[in-house]
Amino acid sequence: MARDALYVCQSCGATHGKWSGRCDACGEWNTIREEAPLAPGPAGKRQARGAALDLTDLGSAEPEPPRTRAGVEELDRVLGGGLVKASALLVGGDPGIGKSTLLLQASARFARQGLKVIYVTGEESVGQVQMRARRLGLEGSPVMLAAETSLGRILATLEAEQPDLAIIDSIQTMWSDSVDAAPGSVSQVRAAAHELTQAAKRRGISVVMVGHVTKEGALAGPRVVEHMVDCVLYFEGDRGGSWRILRAHKNRFGPADEIGVFEMTGKGLIEVRNPSALFLGERGAPVPGAAVFAGIEGTRPILCEIQALVAPAPGGSPRRSVVGWDGSRLAMILAVLEARAGLSFAGTDVYLNVAGGLRVTEPAADLAVAAALVSAREDAALPQECVIFGELALSGGVRDVAQTENRLKEAAKLGFSTAILPARTRRGASHGLALREVRDVPGFVTDTFGDATPG
């Protein structure tokens, strides 16, 4: 009996019995494609019985897998302390953001550390990559290069050469002839990522796969790949600007949510050792609507400026526009300000921006966002040289956050003199900062702005 074709959502990988315009599983439109079923076994055949497993106990765990540092701190930290042997990584990001540049530079670094490195490109010619290497001043690095999209040939090469590190740029261009689907489809991406991950484990190779993110923010077939690999890194940034952030989204061998900051220059990416200075930019006299948030990204404190603009909305529904923060969290803070402090933003457009292209996900930024909003609304600047952090509850209370001392230390290092922070916080030293504790939103508003105009 011929097996029926499968209809697979290219966004979430869900399978359906028939085609439809919208995937029931993830709600995406126009993502369902017909694909041949995975290698069918003979009809009626049961799973063969294998040999019993060799079991072991928790205590006799193997030693930590060996790691190699690239010697680029921004990269090594995101990797959790260096590249782990026999691991599979996915590096995702928008087309043109700089993934190939990053990995070519990383390849050269690892090669200079003594690793045997193979860089396989499925997107460019060997000549193009060599030209880029020359531009980056890497032509003397012992990286081996090939342009190929056939998975079979790549696996054969890995077997023959036994490299320590293999870069596959990109996973969406690779195709396996055992899968009857177009390159870039979920089936192909899944098969290629599976084979490469297996090869990584079996041969002790670190395999780095590049994946392009689509406009909608998903890699084609990425969810399936994310589950397979040990580590998922995203390379982000505003393509118009020159800052790039490498963010660990998942890491089996280290902390997730760690970030590395780079600048894209005419000579490739250079690491930014002091990102707080970068995200704060040039600071002159304080202006209304700007608040400095003392944040934590992974294990590292990062100060950034949160900017708000509140403008009258002539009729219609007012705009709420957010860059670098969560839109629904903004709605919540506006509601808390209105309900608990009597400050209404109805009838005004609200714009919120995190300077420097950083994306802040910490709830600890709530109080700084509230401060920027009230400061913009009142047209009154916040105190000079002041950092702010704290989480808001719906009740209007200001909650304690983690790593207070780290935040204060970074603020002191960058010359700030005051911190507005949750009351009763568990903190260590104040690092010479004057601390202004706040219990709730109304208290914060009166302390900071005097009698703000209600309504």
CB half-sphere exposure, 185, CA atoms < 13 A: 19
| Closest distance of CB 348 from Mg ion, Å | 43
Q: Which two tokens stand for residue 426?
A: 């568990």
Binding residue for ligand TYD, selected from 267, 273, 319, 426, defined by CB under 6 A: 267
- Strand order, beta sheet including 386-388: 320-323, 348-354, 300-312, 290-297, 386-388, 418-422, 434-438
Beta carbon of residue 278, minimum distance to ligand TYD (angstroms, whole number): 17
Tell me whether residue 24 is annotated as binding: no
- With H, G, I as helix, E, B as strand and everything else as coil, classify residue 230: coil
Is residue 264 at the binding interface for ligand TYD, with CB under 6 A as the rule?
A: yes
Pick the closer one to ligand TYD by CB: 101 or 307. Answer: 101
- Residue 145 partner contact from Mg ion, ligand TYD, none using kind-dependent CB cut-offs of 5 to 8 Å: none
Is residue 97 part of an annotated ligand binding site?
Answer: yes
Q: Residue with CB nearest Mg ion? A: 100
- Cα dihedral 359, 365, 366, 371 sign: negative
CB 212 within 8 A of CB 220: yes
Q: Name which of residues 119 to 138 contact ligand TYD (CB under 6 A).
A: 132, 135-136
How many residues does the structure list for the chain?
Answer: 455
In the complex with ligand TYD, the residue whose CB is nearer, 172 or 404, is 172
95, interface contact from ligand TYD, Mg ion, none, CB < 5-8 Å by kind: ligand TYD
Number of residues that bind Mg ion (CB under 5 A): 1
Q: What region does 81 belong to: left with phi over 0, alpha with psi -120 to 50, or beta?
A: left
Given 237, 268, 356, 396, the residue binding ligand TYD (CB under 6 A): 268
What's the alpha-carbon Rg for the chain, to the nearest Å? 26
Q: Do the Cβ atoms of 263 and 244 come closer than 8 Å?
A: yes
Tell me if 267 is assigned to a ligand binding site. no
Sign of CA dihedral 208, 210, 216, 217: positive
Count Cβ atoms below 10 Å from residue 103 Cβ, excluding itself. Answer: 23
417 is in an annotated binding site: no
Identify what 316 binds: ligand TYD, Mg ion, none; CB under 5 to 8 Å per kind. none
Between 105 and 187, CB nearer to ligand TYD: 105
Question: Rounded to an integer, what distance in angstroms lies between the CA atom of residue 174 and that of residue 331?
Answer: 43
Sign for the pseudo-dihedral over CA of 122, 123, 125, 130: negative
Tell me if 100 is assigned to a ligand binding site. yes
Q: Of 134-173, which residues contact ligand TYD (CB under 6 A)? A: 135-136
| 415 residue type, one letter | G
Establish whether 455 is an annotated binding residue.
no
User: Is the CB of 231 or the CB of 373 nearer to ligand TYD?
Assistant: 231
The interface region with ligand TYD, picked from 31-39, 260-268, 310-318, 383-391 by CB under 6 A, is: 260-268
For 227, the token pair is 């589950």
Q: How far is the CB of 123 from Mg ion (least distance, A)?
A: 5
Is residue 100 involved in binding Mg ion (CB under 5 A)? yes
Cβ closer to ligand TYD: 135 or 273? Answer: 135
- Cβ neighbour number for residue 287 with a 10 Å cutoff: 13
Pick one of Mg ion, ligand TYD, none as the site partner of residue 98 (Cβ within 5 to 8 A by kind). ligand TYD
Choices 264-272, 307-315, 333-341, 390-398 (CB under 6 A): range interacting with ligand TYD = 264-272
Report the partner that residue 196 touches, choosing among ligand TYD, Mg ion, none (CB closer than 5 to 8 A by kind).
none
Alpha helices in 379-440 (DSSP H): 404-413
How far CA 329 is from CA of 37, 294, 300, 362, 374, in Å, comes to 42, 18, 23, 11, 16
Query: Would you count residue 95 as binding ligand TYD (CB under 6 A)?
Result: yes
* Residue 453 in tokens: 């105009």
Q: Which does 132 bind (CB under 5 to 8 A by kind): ligand TYD, Mg ion, none?
A: ligand TYD
Q: Identify the sign of the CA torsion 79, 252, 13, 361.
A: negative
- The answer to whether the annotation marks 245 as part of a ligand binding site is no
Q: Give CA–CA dist 188/194, Å, rounded.
A: 10
Any known ligand binding at 18? no
**Residue from the set 11, 101, 206, 276 that interacts with ligand TYD by CB under 6 A:** 101
Binding residues for ATP: 93-100
Binding residues: 93-100
Q: Which residues bind ligand TYD (CB under 6 A)?
A: 93, 95-101, 132, 135-136, 264, 266-268
Q: Which residues bind Mg ion (CB under 5 A)?
A: 100
